Amino acid sequence: MNEEKIPIIVGSGQLVDREATVERHIEPLDMLTRTARSAAQDAGISEAELENIDTVALVGVAGWHPQNAPGFVAEKLGAHPKHCYTTGIGGQVGVTITNFVSEQITKGETEFAVVGGCNNLKILLKAVAQNAQLDWARGGEGEPTLVGGDEVGNTELERKYGLIDPPDIYPLFENALRAGLGLSLEEHRQRMGNLFTRFAEVAASNPYAWFPTRRSAKELITVTPENRMIAWPYPKYLNAILNTEQAASVIVMSVAKARKLDIPEHKWIYWLGGADSKEQAYWASERPDFAACPSMKDSALSALHNSGADINDIHHIDFYSCFPAAVQMACKMVGIPVDDPRGFTVTGGLPYAGGPASAYTLHSIAGMVNRLQGQSSEKGLVTGNGWFLTKHSAAVLSTDPHPSGQPINGLMSELPSQDMVKKPCVVNEQASGRATVETYTVRFDRDGEPARGIVLGRTEAGDRFMANTNLDANSLKEFLTRERVGSEGKVSYVDGMSIFSPG
């Protein structure tokens, strides 16, 4: 094996600032330099040695727009890297950029890198609410190279009918998954609670979690003033928390460089392989099957294949966990049960450890590195998910080197999803007539009252429709008392809007 082309992660650093205020907080530049130095310290790398990094790769930071963020961080570290990389936004990009940097090592283009990301949405939104100016540092010469795309997440038509943010859209997948399993509404609520109480348990022992609090399944699914319904069937405690102040960085280098720096081998965590993909039916409203996710299957199974392993060889898992649907879909796509004893998080997940915008998976990678270091012959799988089960990434990390000595990044030549339906179902906004519900949700207002019904389905002619209901709050409450997937009704196009009427 050529040790100059074998990528390993040797250190990690994380930061959480729960007490941040607009007047007193850690700005992005400081977060990123602090966690980079913490990661170096974790690996036993001196600040003088850290100045020799040849690559800085950063997840795009919402609300912070220096000229060259990775170059700016490098300046603060006293480094002069050859390569500066950044990403767009999306929950998959932390894994994507780690896969990319690792692949650059396999190509001999990089030997010593810092990969980092941070989230400052709590303070950013508070400053907007207070009409306060955030004087965050700006700088960095030149321009970084963009890794991956930076596509928008939804269409104007979707926004028209209320499919705007993650809490509006993930319930569509959740309800379709429930119906596909044949579960009652109550059985499904309990299933979600049982699944996510295991996440809260992990978060409770994570010093970097935003909410290090144990919650029972009953607490998670019972609607209360503190746990109001957001969008059916998700009360607040089952939603990712985005407004956090967190950061994470990892040190990625070649085995040869680690030997030169005398980094002890028990710190070495091998990157065995990765993969990235996105849905052919990119827009959520055009998915042919709301209970399946072909590209999620492709990315996860390709990463496992590239690593020389299958899911049964994995000891630790961190599935992207913005909502229960994301975890259940991942289980379905890789072929494991939702009560798998290994669990599905090393951090506590996005609702409890914190879902810091695009940077969450750097926390899961850092957490996986910490979980694996000091173990013997163990592997971990980390996945990312961007937008609305739209863009996917996966990576396999291990205490042992790749069995063939050749880590790989990329999709398999024969995609695992090749027999799945992928073609987009374009919405016919003016569809009319008798119709069947494929999935649905009801958005609630801040007072806990149902405010907007959203339905997607098929007409008797086979057209995909997207519609709102014209039901009032009391009727919407009744609408939610029984399973609506598979039920019939009528869709009409009235005054520029599609309206679905049940029955």
Asked if 397 and 442 sit in the same domain, the reply is no
Three-state SS string across 352-370, please? HHHCCHHHHHHHHHHHHHH
Burial of 307 (0-12, 13-18, 19+ CB in 10 A): buried
The answer to whether position 420 is within a domain reads: no
Identify the CA nearest to 141 among candidates 200, 47, 211, 71. 71
User: What's the predicted TM-score (pTM) here?
Assistant: 0.96
Asked if 350 and 404 sit in the same domain, the reply is yes
Give the Cα separation of 372 and 317 in Å (integer).
11
- Domain end, chosen from 353, 376, 409, is at 409
**Number of helices (H) and strands (E), helices first, in the chain?**
14, 18
The answer to whether position 362 is within a domain reads: yes
- Domain end, chosen from 376, 409, 442, is at 409
Asked if 248 and 379 sit in the same domain, the reply is yes
pLDDT values of the chain reduced to their tens digit, one per residue, 503 residues: 699 999 999 999 999 999 999 999 999 999 999 999 999 999 999 999 999 999 999 999 989 999 999 999 999 999 999 999 999 999 999 999 999 999 999 999 999 999 999 999 999 999 999 999 999 999 999 999 999 988 899 999 999 999 999 999 999 999 999 999 999 999 999 999 999 999 999 999 999 999 999 999 999 999 999 999 999 999 999 999 999 999 999 999 999 999 999 999 999 999 999 999 999 999 999 999 999 999 999 999 999 999 999 999 999 999 999 999 999 999 999 999 999 999 999 999 999 999 767 999 999 999 999 999 999 999 999 999 999 999 999 999 999 999 998 899 999 999 999 999 999 999 999 999 999 999 999 999 999 999 999 999 999 999 999 999 988 999 999 999 999 999 999 999 999 999 999 98
Residue 461's CATH number: 2.40.50.840
Asked if 335 and 459 sit in the same domain, the reply is no
The answer to whether position 265 is within a domain reads: yes
For residues 363 and 371, the answer to whether their CB atoms sit within 8 Å is no
The stretches of 117-223 forming alpha helices (DSSP H) are 121-130, 156-160, 166-181, 185-204, 217-221
The answer to whether position 59 is within a domain reads: yes
Asked if 394 and 449 sit in the same domain, the reply is no
Asked if 276 and 366 sit in the same domain, the reply is yes
Total tally of structural domains belonging to the chain: 2
CA dist 264 to 1, 9, 79, 203, 253, Å?
19, 12, 24, 29, 13
CA dist 275 to 55, 407, 421, 501, Å?
21, 11, 21, 43
Asked if 25 and 82 sit in the same domain, the reply is yes
Q: 485 is in which domain, residue-wise? A: 433-502
Give the Cα separation of 225 and 408 in Å (integer).
49
Asked if 140 and 285 sit in the same domain, the reply is yes
Asked if 446 and 391 sit in the same domain, the reply is no
The answer to whether position 194 is within a domain reads: no
CA dist 365 to 84, 96, 336, 469, Å?
20, 11, 21, 42
The answer to whether position 457 is within a domain reads: yes
For residues 93 and 356, the answer to whether their CB atoms sit within 8 Å is no
- Domain end, chosen from 393, 409, 425, is at 409
Asked if 310 and 447 sit in the same domain, the reply is no
